[in-house]
């Protein structure tokens, strides 16, 4: 997608933050992330990051997971608590899209954001016949990230950037647009929130850089 956000200014920004809040794929959304804009090096003919390309990669539907929607303890919620209102909406408190499994345990690989963890390695066949072998080599777990309504698209140190994750959090008092719902998780909806209302807050801490997942070898037991 171009670096012009929906309802944002019609100008290309190096790091957009205005417009409606949208979710992104951490592999290709932030600028120069692993699958973002690339070009062929005219000398080596190898693919490399296009550092002058301000476009970014895929948005993610993140169905129901945007920061735009505010949940409240509506009439008929039983028990009348924020966790139950969150559950009725199909989520759980402190749920982090892309990281949290349905059972509440965090994933270690990127299986929640990409089939097979988003990465495989091709071992060429004899004499480059094309009869190679593909081996799954997943990325580490990465959250869905997002930007807009005051939240920046790119985070961390460049030229390869990461993004800002989201998390389901609950207000304990009045929360203005752009203020923290809980510490470190900002209200990027279009509504000022009140106590007991919940939403996916936009994090202030950059997400991790997608890297190859390396499974730890089990420790050998000592012989008695």
Q: Is 85 helix (H, G, I), strand (E, B) or coil?
A: helix
Contacting residues for 71 by C-beta, under 8 A, at least 6 apart: 82, 85, 86, 89, 197, 198, 199
Average pLDDT, the chain: 84
Whether 162 maps to a domain, the answer reads: no
Is 105 part of any domain?
Answer: no
| pLDDT tens, position by position, 158-185 | 777 899 999 999 999 999 999 999 999 9
pTM of the model: 0.82
Contacts of 104 (CB under 8 A, 6+ apart): 92
Is residue 124 in a domain?
yes
Mean pLDDT of 50-72: 72
Lowest mean pLDDT among 7-11, 76-80, 145-149: 7-11
Determine the Cα–Cα distance for residues 8 and 152; give it in Å rounded to an integer: 12
Q: Number of folded domains in the chain? A: 1
Tell whether 121 is covered by a domain: yes
| CA–CA distance, 60 with 72 (Å, rounded to integer) | 25
> What is the Cα–Cα distance from 33 to 53, expressed in whole angstroms?
12
Tokens 């951490």 label which residue? 26
**CB neighbour list of residue 28: distance below 8 Å, 6 or more residues apart:** 34, 35, 36, 56, 57, 58
Mean pLDDT of 139-154: 92
Mean pLDDT confidence for 102-131: 81
Residue 86 lies in a domain: no
Residue-level pLDDT at 194? 97
Q: Which one-letter DSSP state was computed for residue 14?
A: S
Q: Which domain holds residue 132?
A: 110-139
The gap from C-alpha 83 to its chain's centroid, in whole angstroms, comes to 23
Find the distance separating the first CA and the last CA of the chain, reported in whole Å: 61
Report if residue 193 sits inside a domain. Answer: no
Does 133 reside within a domain?
yes
- Confidence band of 1 (pLDDT split at 50, 70, 90): very low
Question: pLDDT (tens digit, 9 = 90+) per residue, 19-51?
Answer: 899 888 888 888 878 777 677 777 877 777 676
Q: Establish if 128 belongs to a structural domain.
A: yes
What pLDDT is attached to residue 44? Answer: 78
- What pLDDT shows up at residue 119? 81
């Amino acid at each position: 997608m171009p670096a012009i956000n929906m309802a944002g200014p019609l100008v290309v920004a190096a790091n957009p933050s205005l417009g409606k809040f949208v979710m992104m794929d951490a592999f290709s959304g932030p600028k120069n992330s692993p699958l973002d804009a690339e070009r062929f090096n005219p000398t080596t003919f190898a693919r490399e990051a296009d550092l002058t390309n301000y476009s970014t990669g895929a948005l993610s539907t993140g169905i129901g997971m945007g920061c735009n929607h505010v949940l409240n303890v509506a009439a008929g919620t039983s028990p009348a608590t924020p966790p139950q209102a969150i559950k009725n909406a199909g989520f759980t408190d402190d749920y982090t899209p892309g990281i949290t499994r349905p059972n509440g345990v965090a994933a270690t690989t990127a299986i929640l954001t990409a089939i097979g963890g988003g990465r495989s390695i091709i071992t060429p066949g004899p004499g480059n016949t094309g009869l190679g072998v593909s081996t799954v080599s997943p990325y580490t777990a990465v959250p869905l990230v997002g930007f807009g309504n005051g939240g920046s698209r790119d985070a961390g140190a460049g030229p390869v950037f990461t993004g800002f994750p989201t998390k389901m959090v609950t207000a304990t008092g009045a929360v203005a647009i752009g203020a923290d719902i809980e510490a470190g998780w900002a209200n990027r909806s279009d509504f000022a929130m009140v106590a007991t209302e919940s939403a996916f807050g936009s994090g202030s801490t950059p997400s991790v850089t997608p890297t190859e997942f390396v499974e730890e070898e089990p420790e050998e037991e000592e012989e008695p």
